[in-house]
Structure 1
Amino acid sequence: MYKVFVNEKKLSISKYPEDVEKKFQYENFATLEIAIDLLENTSCPELNIYGDNLLQIWEDFSKLYRVIEAAGGVVSNKDEDVLFIRRLGKWDLAKGKIEKGESLEQAALREIEEETGLKELILEKYLNTTFHIYTERTGEKILKTTYWFKVTYVGNTAPIPQTEEGISEVSWKNKQQIMDEVLPMTFENIKLILADYWKSN
């Protein structure tokens, strides 16, 4: 199953129908266009498209967008606190676009280092991939695919926000702080990846 966030609303693409209020059996591109229109322009909170050939549906869906690939990490320290960045009033995890010739792992570590100033990082394992849709200033629609890794920080340096990227704060949060401060002020795909991270521990 694929879960894509459209304006922070979930579009699930699955082989079998999900237990949600609105669901469509996949027929063709029009099915996708109707679903996206409902999520973007109505109060519909969640939608499911299902069909036997899941890979074909996903391929068709991806053709509607320019795909940008990114990589990032859920970084923890020896106290099991998790590292967050704050940008435009929202808490997020360090991540960024994969550069030409980079592996996913190299991109994740580079982006964490650039956005937080931390260098002593050990990439542990792949966690999961998230998808969300946004529109560029030019009007071009983007499907952003982000590959997430579990990363451990073994140093003692204080993190430094990359202010030129609009990051105002970098902060370690324990689980209670994540529940109280981060989750109310973050994105749906970050909630998903945090859930995957906690399951993996």
Structure 2
Amino acid sequence: MNKIFVGDKPIILTTEICEETNFKNYLLKTVKLGKVIKELNKTTLEEARFVGKNEDKLLKKFLKKMPTVLAGGGKVYNSNNEILFIYRNGKWDLPKGRSEKGEDIELTAIREVEEETGVKNLKIVKELETTYHIFKRNGNHRIKITRWFEMTSDYTGKLQPEKSEGITKVKWLNPEKTEKALKNSYANIQSLIQ
């Protein structure tokens, strides 16, 4: 089951129609995505479920409904088992960014972590789940597909927030501080950490 977030509310891709309670069912084939995004943003509706026939084709069909942006990001641990967080737009987040044309996604993830935080000596340990969220830029909605990687670094130098990207803080957070930060984070980041 794939989830695509609109803010912190998910659009769930499924083959099952369930009785509606705090969500609505829509047929993936005919859904008006812009209308659903508006409804999720302006009402108390907690989620939307897009129903299709073939489980293996749901995501592919959904991604055809809107332009996509590919990004890479990192869940970075230091030698103290702390996680690297950035603070942007009033929320705690993990460093990530858009892939450049022809760039390998692993290189994107490392480059973006370095640019947004100043952390060097990054090593990819493994690939994590891919997240999807809808955002608006220049009046148009897009789907950001972020491929995440668990990384390590022995970097002990100064952390440098990329202010031009709206990042105001960069911090290594221990498990207790991570838990606190996740209360003011995004749903897709919470799922990556927990």
TM-score (norm 2): 0.90
Which AA in structure 1 matches 2:189?
Answer: I
Residues 2-81 of structure 1: pairs in structure 2 closer than 5 A: 2-17=2-17, 21=21, 22-24=23-25, 26=27, 28-30=29-31, 35-81=36-82
User: In the alignment, which residue of structure 1 is the partner of 2:192?
Assistant: 193
Give the number of equivalent residue pairs: 193
Percent identity of equivalent pairs:
35
More deviation in 32-41 or 112-121?
Answer: 32-41
For 1:172 and 1:27, locate their aligned partners in 2 and report how far apart those are by CA, in whole Å: 41
For 1:159 and 1:42, locate their aligned partners in 2 and report how far apart those are by CA, in whole Å: 39
For 1:3 and 1:149, locate their aligned partners in 2 and report how far apart those are by CA, in whole Å: 19
Post-superposition CA distance 1:113-154 (Å, at most 9, x none)? 111111111111100100111111x31111111000000012
For 2:18 and 2:177, locate their aligned partners in 1 and report how far apart those are by CA, in whole Å: 32
For 2:33 and 2:167, locate their aligned partners in 1 and report how far apart those are by CA, in whole Å: 34
Which AA in structure 1 matches 2:41?
Answer: E
User: In the alignment, which residue of structure 1 is the partner of 2:123?
Assistant: 122
Assess, with a 3 A threshold, how the Cα gap between structure 1 residues 171 and 29 changes in structure 2: closer, same or farther.
Answer: same
Post-superposition CA distance 1:61-104 (Å, at most 9, x none)? 22221100100000001111000011122111010000111111
Between Structure 1 and Structure 2, the one with more helix by share is 1
User: In the alignment, which residue of structure 1 is the partner of 2:157?
Assistant: 157
The answer for unaligned runs of 5 or more in structure 1 is 196-201
Assess, with a 3 A threshold, how the Cα gap between structure 1 residues 95 and 46 changes in structure 2: closer, same or farther.
Answer: same
Q: Is the 8 A contact 1:91 1:186 kept in 2?
A: yes
CA RMSD of aligned residues (A): 2.0
Report the Cα offset of residue 160 of structure 1: 1.3
More deviation in 23-32 or 169-178?
Answer: 23-32
